Amino acid sequence: MEKINIQIPEGYQIDLEKSDLATGQIIFKKVEKKKPLTFEELERIKGYYIDDNSIILEIDEINDFSGLDINVFPQKDQCEAVLALSQLLQLHKAWKEFDTENTDVHPFTIFVYKSYDGDSVIKVGRTSDKRLFSFNSDELAIEFKHTFISLLEKLTPIVL
């Protein structure tokens, strides 16, 4: 008995319905890609994650997650942004203790967004409701913005 190894082209599979193994005719068909509907349906991921020492590390490629590696970001700047967000949330919580001005209406909020040319824009303005980085005092909001401007700028890759 003779054995022949066939190299299947990337992105193809053997079409068993159209192939005729008795005559040696093998037909390939293109593999249909399907949009993943859950994280577990991803075939492989690669990117960056934050380890338990808050160090950003790169993962070359994972193709068997078993639900363990769901904290991998596609881009390093996104990972850096989430690390900055974590720090900012803790700092905001600590600063809120000094936010003694009693104004529940129209708090001062720090807004972070991208300009049309992709630059970071960080402003303090009034909002009709409390948001992520809101303060009752405009002075405290402005001081927070200036004190932590470098962390706030890192949020740009993940702002919507």
Residue 103: per-residue pLDDT: 63
Domain for residue 21, yes or no? Answer: no
Please report whether residue 47 resides in a domain. no
Note whether residue 115 is domain-resident.
yes
Q: By residue range, what is the domain housing residue 95?
A: 75-158
The DSSP annotation for 127-149 comes to -SS--TTEES-HHHHHHHHHHTH
pLDDT-based confidence at residue 70 (cuts at 50, 70, 90): confident
Q: What is the pLDDT of residue 146?
A: 95
- Ranking 41-45, 54-58, 63-67 by mean pLDDT, the lowest is 63-67
Task: Encode 19-58: b = buried (16+ Cβ within 10 Å), e = exposed.
Answer: eeeeeeeeeeeeeeeeeeeeeeeeeebebbbbeeeeeeee
Distance CA 106, CA 137 (A): 10
Report if residue 105 sits inside a domain: yes
Q: Is 75 helix (H, G, I), strand (E, B) or coil?
A: coil
Structure tokens that stand for 137 in this block? 């005092």
Query: Shortest CA distance to 151 belongs to which of 93, 56, 85?
Result: 85
The structure's pTM equals 0.73
d(C-alpha 113, C-alpha 98), whole Å: 26
The verdict on residue 8 lying in a domain is: no
Number of domains in the chain: 1
Residue 33 to residue 57: CA distance in whole angstroms = 29
Provide long-range contacts, Cβ within 8 A and 24+ apart, for 39-47.
39/65, 39/70, 40/65, 40/67, 45/69, 45/72, 45/74, 46/72, 46/74, 47/72, 47/73, 47/74, 47/75, 47/76, 47/79
User: Does some domain include residue 90?
Assistant: yes
The answer to the question of residue 80 being in a domain is yes
Tell me which residue has tokens 């319905």: 17
Mean pLDDT of 5-10: 85
Average pLDDT on 106-114 reads 84
Region 73-100 average pLDDT: 93
31: in domain: no
